[in-house]
């Protein structure tokens, strides 16, 4: 798979200089701490091997950058994780349904770039708030794990 990610300028990075550092730490977490120690089958990590709650966090984070349909969300996570994480439909769509039921995103039917009828998901204000909460929780847990790894 050819993965090309366009990095757009982020106005938050100017206002909040630590945003870039958090994004770097998040990307590092995705590629290092969610990756299995020994990988098989093209070094792709199925979602079942990820920590509980990670999928919703990843979906919310990806939707923060804009409206996407389900397959595009899975593709973006796959690309952003350096092709390590592979989100299966059986995990993606139940997670998206949970996100919709919680009010963290809205969905509208539309036509994809391949001319198929798809649902486009958009993050709501409540979803942005939930993302910030989950990121803070992630950072707290990640810090605790790093502390143990440094001192043990």
Mean pLDDT of 30-46: 47
Residues 6+ positions from 82 with CB-CB distance below 8 Å: 31
pLDDT tier at 52 (50, 70, 90 boundaries)? confident
Regarding predicted confidence, which is higher, 119 or 24? 119
pLDDT digits (tens, 9 = 90+) for 18-27: 544 555 555 5
Q: Which architecture does CATH list for 17-151?
A: Orthogonal Bundle (1.10)
């Amino acid at each position: 798979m050819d993965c090309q990610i366009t990095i757009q300028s982020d106005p938050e990075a100017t206002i909040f200089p630590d945003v870039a550092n958090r994004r770097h730490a998040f990307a590092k977490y995705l590629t290092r701490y969610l990756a299995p120690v020994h990988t098989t089958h093209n070094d792709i990590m199925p979602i079942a091997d990820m920590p509980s709650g990670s999928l919703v966090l990843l979906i919310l984070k990806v939707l923060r950058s804009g409206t996407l349909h389900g397959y595009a969300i899975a593709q973006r996570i796959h690309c952003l994780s350096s092709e390590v994480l592979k989100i299966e439909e059986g995990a993606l769509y139940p997670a998206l349904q949970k996100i919709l039921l919680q009010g963290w995103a809205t969905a509208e039917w539309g036509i994809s770039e391949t001319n198929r009828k798809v649902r486009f998901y958009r993050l709501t204000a409540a979803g942005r708030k939930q993302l910030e909460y989950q990121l803070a929780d992630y950072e707290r847990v990640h810090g605790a794990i790093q502390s143990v790894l440094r001192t043990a």
